[in-house]
Structure 1
Amino acid sequence: MDNPKEKTQVAEHELANRIFFKLYQCANMLHKTGSRAVEEQGLTTQQWAVLGALSRRGTERGMGVGELARYLMVSRQNLSGLVGRMERDGHVELVADPLDRRSRLVRMTETGGRIWREEAQANIQRYYDQALAEFSVGDRAHLLHYLLKLLDNMQTIDQSSGADDDGEANETAQAK
């Protein structure tokens, strides 16, 4: 006779596998189609995320590199290359932190701000409208709720792994 508990576990595993594969596909399509949406402005989805982070209220003076990496959930190493390209293109600048002159802040330039506010926003809104077509307000709220719940669980996994911002095992965590 078949074990119902075993069947349930197999079904749960198969469902989880499909969910995470669809998330992987969504991430790839976001990168591909999102970059197309802002290519006129010379941006990629990663640059779009940086400008979006730097355009939030309270970030006018800029954000520390580590703070920005944590907010975007990327490694400092990956962010460093991205910021370098954006600095070269005039979208951001690295400035000394007035509170700690040894630290550097990533700040949106006037050019980056103009591109973000005046050029990219219409394309981004059009992209959102197309990507979320046929999603009701309720559907969108539910999707956000479940993505936040999943993200929270993944952050717990990340924190319990003892990895630092660059994905390297942290010596303190290894010593425990």
Structure 2
Amino acid sequence: MPDLSTAKNHAIHEINNRLFFRLFQVANTLHTKGTQAVEELGVTTQQWSVLGALSRPQVKDGMSIGDLSRFLLVSRQNLTGLLSRLERDGLIERATSEDDRRSRKVKLSAQGQILWTRLQEPIHNFYNEALKDLSFDDRLAFIHYFTKLQTNMSRL
């Protein structure tokens, strides 16, 4: 008689491989198709994520590079070059923090705000098309499971 625990473990490993491969495919598709959704406005998916993070009402006065790095789950090193390009293009500003003069904050510039507003329609169209076959409850479940996965992965 076959060992059921071995068969179950094999099935779990197979499912895990398929799940992470799908996640990898989804990330690559987001990068490709997401870029196509906003490329006419000259924005990469990485710039899109920074602009989106800085467009939130709770950070209208800016946020530290460390906080932005933690929020986006990217290294400060990866963020530094991206922020330099966004600043060069006039989309963000760096300013000394009013709380701590030794600290610098980044925030959307007026031009960055205008661009973010122009990005809303293509971004929302992209989201709506990508999620069109998912119900509201499906979308909430996705958020729940992605949050669990990200939390578990961050503990590794």
TM alignment of 1:6-85, pairs within 5 A: 6-85=6-85
RMSD (Å), alpha carbons: 0.9
Aligned to 1:111: 111
Q: Distance in 2 between matches of 1:41 and 1:86?
A: 14
Aligned to 1:160: none
User: Structure 2 counterpart of 1:154, which letter?
Assistant: M
Structure 2: any 5+ residue segments left out of the alignment? none
Aligned to 1:94: 94
Q: Distance in 2 between matches of 1:66 and 1:146?
A: 26
Please identify which structure carries the higher helix content.
2
Aligned to 1:173: none
- Tell me which stretches of 4 or more aligned residues in structure 1 moved more than 6 Å: none
Aligned to 2:145: 146
For 1:89-138, what per-residue CA distance to the aligned partner results, in whole angstroms no more than 9, with x for missing partners? 11111111111111111110000001101x10000000001111111111
Identity %: 47
Q: Distance in 2 between matches of 1:151 and 1:63?
A: 23
Structure 1 length-normalised TM: 0.86
